[in-house]
Amino acid sequence: MKVAIVLGTRPEIIKLSPIINKLNKKNSTVIFTGQHYDFDMSMKFIKELGLRSPDYKMKLTKLQNTTNDRATQSGEIILNLAKIISSINPDTVLVQGDTNTVLAAAITSIKCNIPVSHVEAGLRSYDWRMPEEHNRIAVDHISELLFAPTKATKKILEKENVHGKIFVTGNTSIDAVEQYIRIAEKKSKITPKTENFVLATLHRGENVDNKETLISILKGIMNSNANIIFTAHPRTIKRLREFGLYTKIKNSKKISLIPAVGYFDMLYLMKKCQFIISDSGGIQEEATSPKIRKKVLVVRNTTDRPEAVREGFSELVGTNSKKIEKAIKKNLQKSTITSRTSPYGRGNSSKKIIQILRKTF
């Protein structure tokens, strides 16, 4: 078995790390596209998690975050990756999730006649505004092996009559939490001002790039009067400044606005907080881990992690300020989770995926 693992963003690094750690250079090649452009910081993140250095690294042309530029980025990855894939000739190309890197790698692989293996297959938000939705649907339909995290995602793939073989494996995000939570508690340098705080994150384009939506979400958060630690993605900081909201949030006595934190610090904050307000898909998964078990108020109109909602780990509250305020106040009084197990597995997803890869290739 010879696997080419292609990754380009921090979430991909996290979710593929349990698989990479179980393989070696003899049976796997790691290819890093550097999709987020911050190449040095991304490499620092790989080292922080104790992963081996990628065998191939790209430095992409830094462009603005527009539709045309996203297309250009995908094309640049394909051009670079085609040369690498052709030279190493792996048995399969393994990708995770729904990014431009994933789509570009899948297209490259199938054109080079290499089977695609897709980790976290079958997720759907049914929100066509999300570029990720386009990517994941396309990749699912050109993959040979589809590793669905839940029975529900398997059913979605079956209804769509995908070409490849489907396996329910759980989600590797749970593996990663299990693997790194103790290290995170030791290494985190975050010191919350109060023990009773709510963690908030926002980064999705449909939320932060729309002024009215962003104002509505922040209004709901501020009117709740909760003690908030708001870890803001660079994209979110940019929009806060652009929309004239940065100073108001920064000067708030109830909101501590801090730059986006690393994985260890995020795990630590998730562990220590009362509950979480977020539009992140990954956080909806990680919060279900037995090592964290925190409620997530999802500030989106749809979610591609409905299992977490059904099991009571997440609550879909939308982007209306009054609904957000009401949900926060309710959970400040009582934020309980009745389900005992994560819908995304028991932390052995990476082992299952590797076993399937070995049997197939």
Element (H, E) at 84: helix 67-88
Element (H, E) at 15: helix 10-20
The active-site residue out of 36, 134, 163, 203 is: 203
Contact between residue 25 and residue 5 where contact means Cβ atoms under 8 Å apart: no
Element (H, E) at 42: helix 39-48
203 belongs to the catalytic site: yes
Q: How many angstroms separate the CA atoms of 180 and 297, rounded?
A: 24
Residue 17: phi and psi, rounded to 5, are: -60, -40
DSSP, res 148: E
CA 146 to chain centre: 18
Give the Cα-Cα-Cα angle 125, 301, 222 (nearest 5 degrees). Answer: 140
Q: Residue 196: is it exposed, middle or buried by C-beta count within 10 angstroms (0-12/13-18/19+)?
A: exposed
DSSP, res 276: E
Q: Residue 21: is it exposed, middle or buried by C-beta count within 10 angstroms (0-12/13-18/19+)?
A: middle
Q: Residue 320: is it exposed, middle or buried by C-beta count within 10 angstroms (0-12/13-18/19+)?
A: middle
Residue 101: phi and psi, rounded to 5, are: -60, -45
Residues with catalytic function:
203
